[in-house]
Amino acid sequence: MPKEKELVFGHKNPDTDAVSAAIAYSYLQNKLGYNTEAVALGEPNLETKFVYDHFNVKYPRIISAINGEVKKVMLVDHNEEQQSVSDIRDVEVTHVVDHHRIANFETKLPLYYRAEPVGCVSTIIWEMYLEDEIEIPSQIAAIMASSIISDTLLLKSPTTTEVDRDALKSLSETAGIDYESYGLEMLKAGTNLDSKTTQELIDMDAKSFDMNGTNVRVAQVNTVDVNDTLKREDDFVNDIKAENDKNGYGLFVLLITNILTSDTTGIIIGTDDAVAKFETALNTKVSDNKAALPGVVSRKKQVVPPLTEQFD
Amino acid sequence: MPKEKELVFGHKNPDTDAVSAAIAYSYLQNKLGYNTEAVALGEPNLETKFVYDHFNVKYPRIISAINGEVKKVMLVDHNEEQQSVSDIRDVEVTHVVDHHRIANFETKLPLYYRAEPVGCVSTIIWEMYLEDEIEIPSQIAAIMASSIISDTLLLKSPTTTEVDRDALKSLSETAGIDYESYGLEMLKAGTNLDSKTTQELIDMDAKSFDMNGTNVRVAQVNTVDVNDTLKREDDFVNDIKAENDKNGYGLFVLLITNILTSDTTGIIIGTDDAVAKFETALNTKVSDNKAALPGVVSRKKQVVPPLTEQFD
């Protein structure tokens, strides 16, 4: 009897890892006897589009809700329910592979959960392929390597671990790519911000966090020229204010990260109290809605934990 | 520089797996370069005492709170905060190995989390020793095998998986024990209920669950003669009523499980509404505080999930 079908997916506003980890994990699980399909919770961003075009990989089917299609799902690269499909509470989560904190996540039944504090979920899935002695197809190795480059900013983010380095090296060999030159090309492709409206940019890689009752939104864009990006500062500010009003965000943080210098400029808009908490948490000063965040490149490691701590 | 010390422990009211998995995981982590000490959140129960005496293993130091002793901890065999040390929120959880649902658990930072829906945590730790190619000392193999026998009632509980069977076989060989004959002896040692007061019995292997706002307590005792155990029915009822009053439990379920026939008789006391929910969830009738639960042996798989569903 064939196994009951399950969907595998990463978080909303998918980045390269969210989609590629879903594809890689679905392939692995199917080899192990499951019946799964990888799907994505949104359109590809610029970087992901470059990656999938470059390696001629088909982007998965896009869904926003399960709508009764399956009863069971597997999550990669997220666990918090506000980052998942809208009706996640109506299905059973049987597997999770993630590298984030655990929060706003609860199950009725025991499940498979594999988390490691590494730079990229594709790194963990690479370990699982090794443990299960399953060969990684070249195309899947290529999108997994791209995910590690993306999540670790070519191994420069402070989230990078030895295992991420080993995984990127091994996957690049399998895929036949020179990750240094390919990686820079790929990251630059993701910074072509001019083709996007400011509204699209503040939503593209944004995540919501419930911080002790305050709805906090943290978005991030990568660039090679912060001043060029800030030419549209007034538009960013107006769009963020409208988003806060519309969605009840108490705080919106837009991280504009220079991938060449590994620094960030933040646009921070929210209630006075929330902005003050941001200043204390990040040890910076918000002036004219902007804050310098030198050395900050990782939302997950350098922004969300001190901010959560401050709100608690 | 030596690593910062961390404590490793299982849940309150420890059973054989909670303590033995802590010892086995601590030994593994120390081999991998961590600096850990296994501790227990309570005295050994009758079965665990038999096991540790039989294999001449030292029972770990007992603690009830961290009290600032360490900043970081590793959890085995539980994740829900009400089952952990009283000040779990004051420390960072860096690792979890578990086989239960995930609930009432939240971290600020990414962590190592390894959960599998298998019968026993020692089974997962056995897999990790294999993955990391670390040899399991004979005494540790013996207490891990005992944990699997305990959690799966000698592979008869519906929670038992193929991996549990493989693990028990392999660990028994390493420990040099005949798990069939040893296992029965061990389970019987745990059912010597006469030496305990009813107050001790309802607390010995009890766990609390927050079910949609209702504080539900589920305790379990193993026996080879339910009628003999029920000779003290009036004392059980009085003690449970006192516990409910004292701790605000909306529902108390005591499972008296016959390990030879794999059946359970429940003593169920709570608000009318909660008892009615229990009846619906378990498809049984509570009469004179008692309910027949034929074929039920697993709190985790057969009692908590339908009860949680009913309260949601």
pLDDT tens-digit map of B217-244: 999 999 988 998 999 999 999 999 999 9
pLDDT of A5 reads: 98
Instruction: Give chain B as a DSSP string.
Output: -PPPPEEEE--SS--HHHHHHHHHHHHHHHHTT--EEEEESS---HHHHHHHHHTTPPPPEE-S--TTS-SEEEEES---GGGS-TTGGGSEEEEEEE-S---S---SS--EEEE--SS-HHHHHHHHHHHHT-PPPHHHHHHHHHHHHHHHTTTTSTT--HHHHHHHHHHHHHHT--HHHHHHHHHHHTT-GGGS-HHHHHHHTEEEEEETTEEEEEEEEEES-HHHHGGGHHHHHHHHHHHHHHHT-SEEEEEEEETTTTEEEEEEEE-HHHHHHHHHHHT---BTTEEEETT---IIIIIHHHHHHHH-
Buried/exposed code over A117-156 (b: 16+ C-beta within 10 A; e: otherwise): bbbbbbbbbbbbbeeeeeebeebbbbbbbbbbbbbbbbbe
Interface test with B, best of A99, A113, A209 (most B CBs within 10 A): A113
Q: Is A197 helix (H, G, I), strand (E, B) or coil?
A: coil
pLDDT band (50, 70, 90) for residue A72: very high
Residues of A in contact with B106 (CB under 8 A): 101-104
Nearest by CB to A108, which of B99, B101, B108? B101
Residues of A in contact with B100 (CB under 8 A): 110
Across the interface, whether the CB atoms of B115 and A117 are under 8 A apart is answered: no
- Residue B2 pLDDT exceeds 80: no
Put simply, whether B92 touches A (Cβ < 8 Å) is no
Long-range contacts from A276-283, C-beta under 8 angstroms, 24+ separation: A277/A251, A277/A307, A277/A310, A277/A311, A278/A251, A278/A253, A278/A307, A278/A310, A280/A310, A281/A306, A281/A307, A281/A309, A281/A310, A282/A306, A282/A307
- Residue A238 pLDDT exceeds 80: yes
Nearest by CB to B107, which of A99, A103, A116? A103
Long-range contacts from A264-273, C-beta under 8 angstroms, 24+ separation: A264/A293, A264/A294, A264/A296, A264/A297, A265/A226, A265/A230, A265/A290, A265/A291, A265/A292, A265/A293, A266/A290, A266/A291, A266/A292, A266/A293, A267/A233, A267/A236, A267/A237, A267/A240, A269/A237, A269/A240, A269/A241, A269/A244, A270/A216, A270/A244
pLDDT, tens only, A46-71: 899 999 999 999 999 999 999 999 99
pLDDT of B53 reads: 97
Put simply, whether A110 touches B (Cβ < 8 Å) is yes
Domain locations in chain A as residue ranges: 6-189, 198-311
Nearest CA in chain A to B110: A101
Put simply, whether A105 touches B (Cβ < 8 Å) is yes
Interface test with B, best of A108, A131, A162 (most B CBs within 10 A): A108
pTM exceeds 0.90, yes or no: no
Report whether B289 contacts B269 (CB < 8 A).
yes
Across the interface, whether the CB atoms of A102 and B111 are under 8 A apart is answered: yes
Put simply, whether B130 touches A (Cβ < 8 Å) is no
Nearest by CB to A102, which of B106, B117, B309? B106
Report whether A255 contacts A228 (CB < 8 A).
no
Termini Cα distance of chain B: 49
d(CA A45, CA A15): 7
d(CA A178, CA A38): 27
Put simply, whether B115 touches A (Cβ < 8 Å) is yes
Q: Is A286 helix (H, G, I), strand (E, B) or coil?
A: coil
pLDDT, tens only, B128-184: 999 999 999 999 999 999 999 999 999 988 899 999 999 999 999 999 999 999 999
Interface test with A, best of B81, B92, B102 (most A CBs within 10 A): B102
pLDDT, tens only, A265-304: 999 999 999 999 999 999 999 999 999 999 999 998 899 9
pLDDT of A261 reads: 87
Which distant-in-sequence residues (6+ apart) come within 8 Å of A178 by Cβ? A172
Contact pairs from chain A to chain B, CB under 8 Å: 74
Mean pLDDT of A23-33: 98
pLDDT, tens only, B265-305: 999 999 999 999 999 999 999 999 999 999 999 998 899 99
Nearest by CB to A99, which of B105, B108, B110? B110
Nearest CA in chain B to A78: B110
pLDDT, tens only, A176-231: 999 999 999 999 888 878 888 999 999 988 999 999 999 999 999 999 889 989 99
Put simply, whether B110 touches A (Cβ < 8 Å) is yes
pLDDT band (50, 70, 90) for residue B94: very high
Put simply, whether A64 touches B (Cβ < 8 Å) is no
Nearest by CB to B111, which of A108, A117, A308? A117
Q: Which amino acid is at A2?
A: P
Maximal C-alpha separation, chain B = 63
pLDDT of B41 reads: 97
Q: Which residues pair with A270 in a beta bridge?
A: A251
**Average pLDDT over all residues of chain A:** 95
Q: Is A207 helix (H, G, I), strand (E, B) or coil?
A: strand
CATH 3.40.640.10 fits A198-311, yes or no: no
- Residue A1 pLDDT exceeds 70: no
Report whether A150 contacts A47 (CB < 8 A).
yes
Across the interface, whether the CB atoms of B117 and A113 are under 8 A apart is answered: no
Mean pLDDT of A32-57: 96
Percent of chain B with pLDDT over 90: 89
d(CA A184, CA B18): 48
Report whether A47 contacts A220 (CB < 8 A).
no
Residues of B in contact with A104 (CB under 8 A): 106
CATH class of the A6-189 domain in this structure: alpha beta
pLDDT band (50, 70, 90) for residue B193: confident
Mean pLDDT of A117-125: 97
d(CA A285, CA A275): 9
Percent of chain B with pLDDT over 70: 100
- Greater confidence (B127 vs B225) lies with B127
ipTM, interface predicted TM-score of the complex: 0.83
**Average pLDDT over all residues of chain B:** 95
Mean pLDDT of B6-15: 96
pLDDT band (50, 70, 90) for residue B1: low
Mean pLDDT of A72-95: 96
Report whether B101 contacts A109 (CB < 8 A).
yes
Put simply, whether B163 touches A (Cβ < 8 Å) is no
Interface test with B, best of A34, A102, A124 (most B CBs within 10 A): A102
